Structure 1
Amino acid sequence: MNEAFVPKDITEKFVNMICSPTVERQFDKCSVHFPIINRILSTTSFFGFDKRFIIPDVIISEYLNVLYSYENGDLILYHMTNNLYNKYKGKVDYSEQRLKSYIRVLIFWSIYECDIYNEDKRPKDVINK
C-alpha cells in the first residue's frame, strides 16, 4: 500500500465516549489497516459504486441501535461487535475470533472516519465544568 495513513486527533472522541485506555490502544493497533480499507472501498474492482456505502451504513446503523443502551464507548464497541458477529457469522466462513477482529477494525475505521462516536456520554455536570 502506497497510501499514507494520516492520523486524526480523535482523543476527544474517546474522552467524550468514556472509553478505557485499552480501547484506545486497540484503536491505535487497528489504525494500520485504515488505508487498506480506504483503498478497497475506493476501488471499483472490489465493490461497485453503489455497494461501497453498505459497510459504513451497516456500522452506523448498528451504532445507532446500541448508542443509548450503554453508558460508555467500551460497552458500545463490545455490543456492536457481538451484534454484527451474530448477524454475519453464517454468511462467511471465518472463525469467531477472526470475524470479530475484522468487525472491530471496521468499527474503529468508522470512528476514524467520524461516522460514529461523535456523542458525549459524560455526565452533564462533567461536561459543564
Structure 2
Amino acid sequence: MAATGAAKKDDQPKRRYDKGERRFKHVGKGAQPVIEFDDSEPRKWVGKCPSTLSEADRITLLNEAIGAPNGDRELPVAKRLYVVHEGAIYEAQTSDRGGTYHGYPYKGKLAASILKQLAKMAEQKQCTDLFDKWVKEHIERHGA
C-alpha cells in the first residue's frame, strides 16, 4: 500500500500535511526526533519532530507512508499512517477523514505486520541500524 511518492497528473500530492495553527507540541529544538514525557494530565509521551524537517519532507513522507487498518471503522482512507525517516518511525493521523494529516515521531504499540512493512522501508532507505534502535527503545510489538 506504500505510495511511490510520484506526482499525480495535476501535480498535487496524494496526501496533504497540516501542522495546524499555533501547534508546537510536536516540534523539537534539534536536528533529531525525540520522545519526551509530558507530565500534564493525563500523562503521556510526546514525539517531537526535528526542527530541520521541511514542508517538502513532510509531504514526501506522507506519500510514502503505509496505512494501518482502521479496525471496525468504515473509512475510505486510513486514519493512521506510518513511515520511516532516518530510522525513526513517524505516525500521522487525520482529523478530517483523510483531507490532511499531522505527523510526529511515534512511541507505542505497533502490529507485527506494520513493523514488518516498516522494516522493509528502512532497508530500502538504508537506515536499518537506526530503525532497529528506534524499535528497541520506543516500540512494543503486538498482534500479527
What TM-score, normalized by structure 1, do the two folds share?
0.33
TM-score (norm 2): 0.31
Greater share of residues in strand: 2
Normalized per residue, the structure richer in helix is: 1
